[in-house]
Amino acid sequence: MIIQLKPTTNKRELERIIDRLVKDGIQRENIDIIKGDPYTVVGIKGDTRKLSEDHYKTLNSVYQVIRISNPCKELTRQFHPRSTIIELSNKHRIGEGLSVIAGPCAVESYEQLFTTAKIVKNAGANILRGGAYKPRTSPDTFQGLGEEGLKYLSRVKQELGMPIITEITDPRDLELFLDYDVDIIQVGARNCQNFRLLDEMAKIDRPVMLKRGGEVPVNEYLLAALRIYRGNQKVILCERGGKTSDPKHRNVLNLNNVAYIKKNYHLPIIVDPSHGSGIRESVAPLSYAGIASGADGVMIEVHCNPEEALCDGEQSIDGEIHELIPKLHELYELVRS
């Protein structure tokens, strides 16, 4: 339930409403005050069935009372009208302006990471990506450098002043991720409903990017995000598509989800056109489509030598990122104006 207050409401009246809610059995931690202009909103989480809507409607300072039956109500724009903005170590703010995350699928060596990072930095990317832990379907393929990969990421972060994002696959590695000062911890599509891992993400004070699992419906995806958000509000969503019966495409990017989420929910959302297509030539057009659908940014796989990549070379671009980023900025301005 949300109680929208009249613009004239003063502090004392607000406190009276909170006291009343507490008397009616609502715990203080389940009451969120979201100050807006001109309306301040009192958001009540959890079970609100015992509250009398009529009683609150009659209070002088109340403009309207709205019951929200959406189980993810804390993530809705009704509950929290302003977009969530997440600030990183270099002061880049995700959710305010366009964010470009770019880098290799996997960290393969220090040289490969540094060379690729320089390409993406010069092209205007804000955040460097690179997988250190890559448990992939076939055990015979490259599985990532593990801690050595984290070491290279943190070294390149220092050298180039770029925040880093990398994927966690096991809660036992969390300490290491924090020790190497990973700026955004990625939870990949395969772990979207790994609730033990999500619960660990809820305990930290570090941005987490949760990718939608290919077969996970949007309502279940949002519930997974809510699980982290309840403890750690620095949650970034990421749409990377899901399987299709057509073997030509690795995945099909679900732009319906991007448009729907952007309109109705306040968390930032990134699109991943690389995993969303699996095809290098599709990366630019799907990036445009993602931004046009309302995404706050893109995550693009870039490799200094895609033909030699140990992982996902077929969907990695190289120097082309230089022409792509300025066009994405132009498109973003057009769509958001």
Site residues for Mn ion per CB under 5 A = 105, 312
b/e burial code for range 66-99 (CB count within 10 A of at least 16 → b): eebeeebbbbbebbbeeebebebeeebebbeebb
One of 74, 108, 167, 296 touching ligand PEP (CB under 6 A): 167
Helix (H) or strand (E) holding 175: helix 174-179
Strand partners, 252: 242
Q: How far is the CB of 134 from Mn ion (least distance, A)?
A: 8
Question: Tokens 């960290």 sit at which residue?
Answer: 107
Among 172, 177, 181, 239, CA closest to 211: 239
Strand, helix or coil for residue 142: coil
Q: How far is the CB of 321 from ligand PEP (least distance, A)?
A: 16
Q: Which positions from 120 to 159 touch ligand PEP by CB under 6 A, shown as an x/- string? A: -----------x----------------------------
188 contact, one of Mn ion, ligand PEP, none, CB 5-8 Å limit per kind: ligand PEP
Helix (H) or strand (E) holding 110: helix 110-123
Measured CA to CA, the distance from residue 8 to residue 14 in angstroms comes to 11
Q: Which positions from 55 to 94 touch ligand PEP by CB under 6 A, shown as an x/- string? A: ----------------------------------------
Q: How far is the CB of 167 from ligand PEP (least distance, A)?
A: 5
Q: How far is the CB of 24 from Mn ion (least distance, A)?
A: 50
Strands (E), 189-281: 208-211, 235-239, 269-271
Going 115 to 120 to 122 to 126, the CA torsion angle's sign is: negative
Is there a cis peptide before residue 247, judged by omega within 30 degrees of 0? no
Q: Which is closer to ligand PEP, CB of 167 or CB of 200?
A: 167
Q: Quick one: which segment of 39-47, 187-195, 222-230, 263-271 binds ligand PEP (CB under 6 A)?
A: 187-195
Q: Which positions from 273 to 312 touch ligand PEP by CB under 6 A, shown as an x/- string? A: --x-------------------------------------
CA distances, 96 to each of 54, 108, 225, 309 (Å)? 38, 32, 20, 33
The answer to whether 148 and 133 are in contact (CB under 8 A) is: no
One of 5, 51, 107, 189 touching ligand PEP (CB under 6 A): 189
Strands (E), 190-337: 208-211, 235-239, 269-271, 297-301
240 contact, one of ligand PEP, Mn ion, none, CB 5-8 Å limit per kind: ligand PEP
One of 157, 240, 266, 303 touching ligand PEP (CB under 6 A): 240
Q: How far is the CB of 316 from Mn ion (least distance, A)?
A: 8
Minimal CB distance to ligand PEP: which residue? Answer: 188
167 contact, one of Mn ion, ligand PEP, none, CB 5-8 Å limit per kind: ligand PEP
Q: Which is closer to ligand PEP, CB of 227 or CB of 275?
A: 275
Measured CA to CA, the distance from residue 18 to residue 12 in angstroms comes to 10
Q: Quick one: which segment of 95-103, 151-159, 185-193, 226-234 binds ligand PEP (CB under 6 A)?
A: 185-193
Binding residues for ligand PEP, rule: CB under 6 A, are 105, 131, 167, 188-190, 211, 240, 272, 275
